[in-house]
């Protein structure tokens, strides 16, 4: 008889498999599945590409007829509805699987609990909640997107120990080490979109691509917040190979302007977004991105965009890469600009903090607590 430790081991294998789909399955969830018989793994699968077979189907295909009488471990409740593919519950029932461990119930209203109910009605033993916290963390972006129709937003910054992202002259290359920069490129390859402000484009002229050594790398949609449409047509993000994956968020007054038409001629998109106090309404913008199917957004903005995003309360997660450097300067550029908070009692607070060493830097990660 399998022990609790065995069950956790097999679910951890399923979680490892699920992570392989990062960057390729959105806005679908990351899912991994393992089929076990006599304490031996006979089938493994994960959701590899959006529109492709789900994890359970890939695992069942590998197990074949041996799946009869076996146990399945799956990180997310199997679907019971027709989407891009047929219901996984039907294939599981037909296979003869007799027991299933489900990491977490699917938050998708079209599935939530129904898949489990269907499996139980077919006589399959279903146990839920195995390593649920890890399963939920894996799909934190999907959970928010499928329940609220807006992307999960991560604010990333590379900064010195004294909290600056650039010197008094605006110089910022390179604050963080090569290991951190490579890590950020990996994150870019895993999210649906990257957002920067026009100030970053004017100062750095970035590509905002995922530059990794792997042969197959997915680049995110590039979102530029530019209410006055100041972007130069010569910018790298508007050149032939990148323009079709670039979106400019600008004011309604400029969305139909001659400059907007010139930008669209490059292949880039123009989003008309309402202004709030003279700036792009970021809440309105992420609603538009959610309607496009963008489930995860990485903000790599400058000081002012960071401040605006936090003030708009759209940020879910913070990732600050601290370099062992101090630059000082009253007029150095701080990681968060804006007017600032006047009372400590009103400060933005984080929970579930973690610290990770990356090269010579430290990555501090935390989740933004809702304001009361």
Torsion of CA 352, 358, 362, 368, to 10 degrees: -30
Question: Looking at the DSSP assignment, which residues form a beta bridge with residue 322?
Answer: 159, 362
Angle, in degrees to the nearest 10, between helices 55-63 and 4-19: 110
- Residue listed under structure tokens 């100030």: 199
Active site residue 140: no
- The continuous run of DSSP H or E covering 334 comes out as strand 333-334
Catalytic residue, candidates 8, 56, 132, 178: 56
Enumerate long-range contacts of 274-277, CB under 8 Å, 24 or more apart: 275/227, 275/251
Chain-centre distance of CA 14, in angstroms? 20
Specify whether the CB–CB gap between 58 and 48 falls below 8 A: yes
- The per-residue b/e assignment along 217-249, b for 16 or more CB within 10 angstroms, e otherwise, is eebbbbbbbbbebebeeebbbbeeebbebbbbb
Chain-centre distance of CA 110, in angstroms? 22
Torsion of CA 286, 306, 247, 178, to 10 degrees: -120
Active site members: 56
């Amino acid at each position: 008889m399998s022990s609790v430790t065995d069950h956790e081991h097999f679910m951890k294998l399923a979680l490892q498999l699920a992570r392989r789909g990062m960057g390729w399955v959105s806005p679908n969830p990351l899912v991994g599945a393992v089929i076990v018989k006599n304490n031996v793994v006979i089938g493994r699968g994960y959701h590899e590409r959006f529109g492709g077979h789900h994890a359970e189907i890939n695992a069942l295909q590998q197990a074949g007829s041996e799946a009869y009488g076996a146990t399945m471990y799956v990180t997310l409740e199997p679907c019971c509805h027709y989407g891009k593919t047929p219901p996984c519950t039907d294939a599981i029932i037909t296979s003869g699987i007799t027991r299933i461990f489900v990491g977490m119930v699917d938050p998708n209203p079209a599935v939530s609990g129904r898949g489990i109910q269907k499996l139980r009605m077919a006589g399959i033993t279903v146990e839920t909640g195995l390593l649920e916290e890890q399963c939920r963390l894996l799909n934190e972006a999907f959970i928010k997107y499928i329940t609220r129709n807006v992307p999960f937003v991560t604010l990333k910054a590379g900064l010195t120990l004294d909290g600056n992202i650039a010197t008094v002259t605006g110089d910022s290359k390179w604050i963080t080490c090569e290991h951190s920069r490579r890590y950020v490129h990996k994150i870019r390859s895993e999210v649906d979109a990257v957002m920067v402000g026009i100030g970053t484009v004017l100062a750095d002229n970035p590509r905002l691509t995922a530059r990794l050594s792997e042969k197959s790398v997915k680049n995110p949609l590039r979102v530029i917040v530019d209410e006055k449409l100041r972007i130069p047509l010569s910018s790298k993000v508007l050149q032939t190979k990148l323009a079709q994956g670039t979106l400019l968020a600008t004011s309604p007054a400029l969305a139909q302007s001659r400059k907007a038409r010139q930008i669209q001629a490059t292949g880039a998109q123009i989003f008309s977004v309402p202004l709030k106090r003279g700036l792009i309404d970021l809440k309105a913008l992420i609603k538009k991105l959610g309607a496009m199917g963008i489930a995860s957004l990485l903000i790599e903005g400058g000081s002012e965009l960071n401040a605006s995003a936090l003030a708009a309360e759209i940020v879910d997660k913070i990732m600050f890469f601290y370099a062992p450097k101090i630059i000082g300067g009253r007029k150095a550029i701080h990681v968060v600009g804006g007017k600032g908070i006047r009372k400590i009692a009103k400060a933005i607070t984080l929970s579930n903090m973690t610290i990770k060493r990356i090269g010579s830097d430290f990555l501090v990660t935390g989740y933004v607590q809702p304001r009361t």
